[in-house]
Amino acid sequence: MSSLALLDVRDLTVTFHRKGARPFTAVDGVSFDVEPGRTVGLVGESGCGKSVTSLAIMGLLPRRGATVGGSVTFEGTDLLTLSASAMRERRGRDLGMVFQDPLSSLNPVVSIGLQVSEVLERHRGLPRKKAMVEAADLLDKVGIPDPRRRLSEYPHQLSGGMRQRALIAMALACRPRLLIADEPTTALDVTIQAQILALLAELVRDTGTALILITHDLGVVAGLCDEVNVLYAGRVVERAERHALFARPRHPYTNGLLASIPRLDGARGERLRPVRGSVNDNIPWRSGCAFAPRCPNALDVCRLVTPEMVADGPGGLLRCHNPVVHTEEVTA
């Protein structure tokens, strides 16, 4: 499996240190791999470590105050061992990233054209004029109307959706083999979200770029990801192919999340079944399963022994002592 992988994340651990406070492990032994042309989702609620995972992969965490352990192997090179300058070389060329808030990720005083062409000048060594022409092509490709005029405009002159497209154009400028999109549509309206998701799906299909999609929205995952990792309190609690995950969620947390979302096509008036408590309830924990205090399936063993990641179903992984049993499985 890992021989095919473009990116192989093994036992990634990120610990934050603060003076006078106990070290906090935001990401705890996360492993997954991404193959070219595949979309892998990292899903979870606030504080589950999904964004820290992506920052660690991109080498964007501060050098001081954060310890990163494990390995992030990209085409045979462990990115965590690279120097800051070598990593800078990789970012933008091999690895692209799209952030949640396009306004704060764009420089407000530099024109869109310059921001996109800068990437091309820096990594592909194109002269300014050529880079500008290519930048216009890129903007056109991501669906920005009248790209030539947009080149000389500034971020505040673009709408939210257009800004996100510009950001995607920048991330794609050097045809990276891996694109990380961290909540790419969370700040956008649904109709614009649909446009951006369609654009991302098209890019993966046409260029064979691998995509890591980080989101809290299970609906977005259902439409776009091939494989889904559900994170809770810094750990992957369940991994499955998307059809399996949504049809037969095995971890009580995944199950609880799905049951608590009102669905557009579900029965109306039915009461939602929320996960009790909130994420804060389990931090800090010393032993056992982090989800145990909120889990309807919790046993005594859950509070004492940390569950290991075990294979579950075809291609699935699960970290749970007492998973949800689906009746059709029992009879089958």
Partner 1 sequence: MTESTEPTSSTVDGDVLVDVQGLEVHFPIKGGLVLDRTIGHVLAVDGVSLRVTRGETYGLVGESGCGKSTLGRAMLRLVEPTGGRVVFDGTDLSALRGESLRRMRRRMQMVFQDPLSSLDPRQSVESILVEGMRAHGLDRDRAATATRLRELLSSVGLPASALRKYPHEFSGGQRQRIGIARALTVRPDLIIADEPVSALDVSVQAQVINLMADLQQEFGLTYLVIAHDLAVVRHISDRVGVMYLGGLVEEAGSEALYADPLHPYTRALLSAVPVPDPAVEDRRERILLAGDLPSPAAPPPGCRFHTRCPWRQPERCDTERPELREVLPGQRVACHYAEDIRAGRIQPHEVRPELVEAGATGPLDTSAAGPASVTEILGGP
Per-residue x/- track, 90-129, partner 1 (CB under 8 A): -----------xxx--------------------------
Report how many residues bind partner 1 under the rule CB under 8 A: 61
Q: By rule CB under 8 A, what string of x and - marks binding of each residue 285-324 to partner 1? A: ----------------------------------------
Provide, rounded to whole angstroms, the least separation between the CB of residue 99 and partner 1.
11
Q: Are 43 and 182 in contact (CB under 8 A)?
A: no
Place of tokens 């990720």: 105
CA–CA dist 108, 166 (Å, integer): 13
List the interface residues with partner 1, window 250-289 (CB under 8 A): 256-265, 268-269, 271-276, 278-280
Q: Which of 131, 218, 295, 302 binds partner 1 (CB under 8 A)?
A: 218
| By CB under 8 A, residue 219 contacts partner 1 | yes
Which residues lie below 8 Å from residue 94, measured CB to CB, with a gap of 6+? 74, 75, 174, 176, 177, 178
CB closer to partner 1 out of 23 and 223:
223
| Residue 10 Cβ vs partner 1, minimum distance, rounded to whole Å | 28
C-alpha distances (whole Å) from 49 to each of 85, 139, 219 are 26, 32, 20
Stretch that binds partner 1, among 61-69, 85-93, 172-180, 243-251 (CB under 8 A): 243-251
Query: Does the footprint of partner 1 cover residue 221 (CB under 8 A)?
Result: yes
Nearest to 80 by CA among 26, 11, 4: 11
Q: Rounded to whole angstroms, how far apart are CA atoms 251 and 189?
A: 31
Footprint of partner 1 on residues 126-165 (CB under 8 A)?
A: 143, 145-146, 156-163
Residue 49 and residue 54: Cα distance in Å, rounded?
Answer: 9
How many residues in total does the chain contain? 332
Q: Of residues 3, 85, 191, 287, which one binds partner 1 by CB under 8 A?
A: 191
CB 228 within 8 A of CB 242: yes
- In DSSP terms, which residues pair with 8 in a beta bridge? 33, 73
Cα–Cα distance, 58 to 82 (Å, whole number)? 11
Q: Which stretch binds partner 1 (CB under 8 A): 86-94, 108-116, 117-125, 220-228?
A: 220-228
Residue 91 Cβ, how far from partner 1 at the closest point, in Å? Answer: 23
Look-up: residue for tokens 């903007």?
139
Query: How distant, in Å, are the alpha carbons of 43, 228, 269, 282 from that of 225?
Result: 11, 7, 30, 28
Residue 202 interacts with partner 1 (CB under 8 A): yes or no: no
**Which one of the spans 15-23, 62-70, 128-136, 184-192 is the region binding partner 1 (CB under 8 A)?**
184-192
Binding track over 52-91 against partner 1, x by CB under 8 A:
----------------------------------------
Minimum separation from the CB atom of position 242 to partner 1 (A): 5
- Shortest distance, CB of residue 293 to partner 1, whole angstroms? 13
Sheet of strand 7-18, all strands in order from the earlier edge strand to the far edge: 21-34, 7-18, 66-74, 77-78
Roughly what angle, to the nearest 10 degrees, separates helices 112-124 and 128-141? 120
Give min distance, CB of 307 to partner 1, in A.
Answer: 20
* Interface with partner 1 (CB under 8 A): 45-46, 101-103, 143, 145-146, 156-163, 186-195, 197-198, 216-223, 242-243, 246-247, 256-265, 268-269, 271-276, 278-280
